[in-house]
Amino acid sequence: MSAQPATNTMHADVLIIGSGAGGATTATVLAEAGFDVLVVEEGDWVEQGSVVPFSLDQMDRQYRAGGVTVALGLPSIAYTEGRCAGGGTEVNSGLYWRPPGDVLERWRDQFRIDDFDPDDLLAIAAEVEHEISVGPVPGPYSEPSEVLRRGADALGWRNGEIPRWMTYPKGAPATAGERQSMTRTYLPRAMRAGARIATGCRVDRLEAQGGKAVRAITTLADGSPGVITFRHVFVCGGAIQSPALLQRSGIRGHIGRSLAVHPTVKLAARFADPINVPDDVPVHQVKEFAPHLSFGGSASNPGLVALNLLDQWPTFKRAVTDWQHISVYYAAITSEGRGRVFSVPRLRDPIVTYGLTGRDRELLRSGMARLTLLMLEAGALEVFPSFKGAPIVRNRKDVATMQRSFAATKASVMTVHLCSTVPMGEDTDRCGADSFGRVHGQSNVYVNDASLLPTAPGVNPQASVMAFAIRNARHFVATGGNRA
Residue 46 CA: distances (Å) to CA of 21, 59, 89, 327: 16, 12, 12, 28
Residue from 262, 284, 325, 417 carrying the catalytic annotation? 417
Nearest to 46 by CA among 31, 24, 63, 68: 63
Beta strands in 143-211 (DSSP E): 159-161, 164-167, 178-179, 196-199, 201-209
Distance CA 244, CA 352 (A): 10
Q: Which amino acid, one-letter code, is at 66?
A: G
Q: What are phi and psi of 98, to 5 degrees?
A: -60, 150
d(CA 354, CA 357): 10
Q: What is the DSSP letter of 44?
A: B
Question: H/E element holding 128?
Answer: helix 118-131
> Are the CB atoms for 280 and 460 separated by under 8 Å?
no
Number of H helices, E strands in the chain: 12, 24
Alpha carbon distance 265, 103 (integer Å): 24
Please indicate whether residue 417 is annotated as part of the active site: yes
Residue 396 CB neighbour total at 10 angstroms: 11
User: Using CA atoms, how far apart are residues 352 and 241, in angstroms rounded to an integer?
Assistant: 10
Complete edge-to-edge strand list for the sheet that includes strand 134-135? 134-135, 164-167, 178-179
Query: Could you give the CA distance from residue 279 to residue 268 in angstroms, rounded to a whole number?
Result: 16
Q: How far apart are CA 438 and CA 436, in angstroms?
A: 6
Q: Say which residues have a Cβ less than 8 Å from residue 467's Cβ, sequence separation at least 6.
A: 99, 121, 122, 124, 125, 128
**Residue 270 dihedral angles phi and psi, to the nearest 5°:** -105, 135
The helix, strand and coil proportions of the chain, stated in percent and rounded to the nearest 5, come to 35, 25, 40
42, 61 contact by CB (below 8 A): no
Element (H, E) at 313: helix 313-316
181 φ/ψ sector (left φ>0, alpha ψ -120 to 50, else beta): beta
Residues 192/205, Cβ–Cβ less than 8 Å: no
Residues involved in catalysis: 417
